[in-house]
Structure 1
Amino acid sequence: MAVLPSLEEIRLELMSFEDVSAALAQGRTTVLIPCGAVEQHGPHLPLCMDADHADALAAKVARHLGDALIAPTIKVGCSAHHLVFPGTISLRPETFESICLDYCTSLAQHGFKRILLFSGHIGNFPVLRDMLPRLRRAVASDVEIDAFCDAIAWVDRWRSAVRDAGGDPNAVGGHADIAETSLMMWLRPDSVRLDRFEVGYLGALSEQQLQSMWKNGIKSITHNGIIGDPHGSTVEIGAQCLEAIADLLATSFAR
């Protein structure tokens, strides 16, 4: 039975340059670029939610793919619609794209042939989708760059995972809800403030509401920064949600 490599053996920042060179020589030319955010997640979750989520997903997706290495997580993302809440840090889309571009060109220069980007922060999805053609043009034709940008599939997978784990799928809204709260109960339990759970905006957002959120900020939709409801969150739901999204990403990136 094959022994899976440890995270120290597949996370680039924990490897030496000789380790990376040896991995490339062995044909391990796929690398993941996890992206996150440092932004508000209601009164009950820490700002690191999306970055922690991306870190954890990267480990699972790499295991699913079997031969992928993991680049350092881009922890800060595009969160301008959350800036009304103190502590949120947001990159301009062009700044985020420049960071992703520099990651991709650096990795391609070293010999990586598949560069796969994904984000634990759904707010990065439209920016990733927009930049993808430019990232592809910046590297040689034999280098494949892909990014997961399907927010609908992501939230649908969360709803299914919550239901399968015994929770209420209607509490999934996409931000600081039962899914994300459960994830943090699994990933960083001491950070979840159980006494600060509040109901946020419930129900599907219309296109008009989404446009209002992007233009005027999330407070135009929800006063407490929550879309969905954290009540009913459990460690079991968190584990199920993590595995469900890792499977979604790995299936999308498989070939």
Structure 2
Amino acid sequence: MSYHVKRLTEMSWVEVEALDKERSFVLAPLSPIEEHGPHLPLGTDIFGAEDIAQLTAEVVHKKDSTLQAILAPSIPLGCSSITADFPGTISLRGETLYNLLVDFCSGLAESGFQYIAIVNHHLDPVHLKAILEAIETVENRFGVKIIETAGRIVYSGKVMREVTHGEKLGVPMKTEIHADMRETSYIKYRYPHLIKHNPEELPAVRIDVKEGLKNGHTTFREMGASQGYIGTPALASEGLGKIHLEEQAENTADMIIQLVGGHPLPEMSPGILNYLKHKIKL
């Protein structure tokens, strides 16, 4: 990742004012500090959001050099009550995240930015709903265009190389939920010095989260994830980590180009949107 992206924090107001806002877009990495098993760092999700944002800027530049990426400072916050009974998780209330994002994105809109991508690496339902409702509020207020990235990628029905890769190993990727093969692979690829203990020795943990919620459990730990992970971290590889990062960035870059160009974007499935709207409260 060698492309030098413009960072909002390093610019002056004069430089921001001078940007061609019709050809500029803001990348805003967002994800909470959260436990990721005994083997991964608490910053796994925000590291992912940051790396995807940086690589996205490079990919967009290669595909359309007339577009200018502006990297906003990372927001290491989010909603993660489902892991909040482990030390290290910092979980915001949904309404807090909503208000934070409305104010943050409003500030960007008031500075003249028309296109904003919230680069997210965390799919907790409350977290996702707070983002989507904040986006709707700011878009309606300012007439800008904002997207959340992870939900549109994961829940659009798009066939993902990382899923195909995992299934070739005999791993049902729908059961890879948290601090799993995918996330462990990403950290192995980008931050091997932050791997704790020996993931290869961790047994697979298979939990039906939907069933756990139906049974009244509110956290992964209550559902049986005593070490804070659900999936198969033992099968993680640097190769899968590379696929994960590059595929997320490629998809995010394509969405940004579509957003600026006024073209249709991948949509989250109606089932997910209906679930967030009617079943999840901030």
TM-score interval for Structure 1 and Structure 2 normalised by the shorter chain: 0.7 to 0.9
Please list, as runs of the form range in 1=range in 2, the aligned pairs for 1:172-183 lying within 5 A after superposition: 173-183=176-186
- Identity among equivalent pairs (%): 28
| Number of positions where the alignment pairs a residue of Structure 1 with one of Structure 2 | 243
1:219 corresponds to: 221
2:240 corresponds to: 237
Once the two structures are TM-superposed, the CA of residue 14 in structure 1 deviates from its matched residue by: 3.2
2:131 corresponds to: 128
**C-alpha separation between the residues in 1 aligned to 2:172 and 2:134?**
33
User: Does the Cα contact within 8 Å between 2:22 and 2:114 map onto a contact in 1?
Assistant: no
User: Does the Cα contact within 8 Å between 2:52 and 2:119 map onto a contact in 1?
Assistant: no
1:6 corresponds to: 4
1:60 corresponds to: 55
User: Does the Cα contact within 8 Å between 1:41 and 1:49 map onto a contact in 2?
Assistant: yes
1:31 corresponds to: 26
Please, what is the CA RMSD of the aligned residues? Answer: 2.7
**C-alpha separation between the residues in 2 aligned to 1:104 and 1:169?**
39
Once the two structures are TM-superposed, the CA of residue 104 in structure 1 deviates from its matched residue by: 0.8
2:191 corresponds to: 188
**C-alpha separation between the residues in 1 aligned to 2:251 and 2:21?**
27
Which stretch shows the higher mean deviation, 187-196 or 176-185? 187-196
- Structure 2 residue runs of 5 or longer lacking an equivalent are 62-66, 259-282
Question: Per the alignment, in what secondary structure is the counterpart of residue 45 of structure 1?
Answer: coil
| Candidates 21, 24, 28, aligned match of 2:17 | 21
**C-alpha separation between the residues in 1 aligned to 2:157 and 2:40?**
20
1:251 corresponds to: 254
Q: Deviation string for 1:191-226 (max 9, x for gaps)?
A: 1024255235326x363335568x611113322211
Once the two structures are TM-superposed, the CA of residue 52 in structure 1 deviates from its matched residue by: 0.3
Q: Give the TM-score of the pair, scaled to structure 2.
A: 0.76
**C-alpha separation between the residues in 2 aligned to 1:167 and 1:18?**
53
| Candidates 201, 216, 223, aligned match of 2:205 | 201
Residues 242 and 118 of structure 1, relative CA distance in 2, 3 Å threshold: same
1:101 corresponds to: 102
Letter in 2 for 1:43: P
Residues 72 and 169 of structure 1, relative CA distance in 2, 3 Å threshold: farther
Please list, as runs of the form range in 1=range in 2, the aligned pairs for 1:33-182 lying within 5 A after superposition: 33-66=28-61, 67=67, 68-123=69-124, 124-138=127-141, 140-141=142-143, 143-148=144-149, 149-150=151-152, 151-153=154-156, 157=160, 158-162=162-166, 167-170=169-172, 173-182=176-185
Residues 167 and 137 of structure 1, relative CA distance in 2, 3 Å threshold: same
Q: Deviation string for 1:41-72 (max 9, x for gaps)?
A: 00001100001000000011222233221111
Q: Deviation string for 1:130-187 (max 9, x for gaps)?
A: 433223223x22x212223244359963313546xx7554366131111101111122
Which stretch shows the higher mean deviation, 166-175 or 119-128? 166-175
**C-alpha separation between the residues in 1 aligned to 2:119 and 2:242?**
19
Once the two structures are TM-superposed, the CA of residue 75 in structure 1 deviates from its matched residue by: 0.8
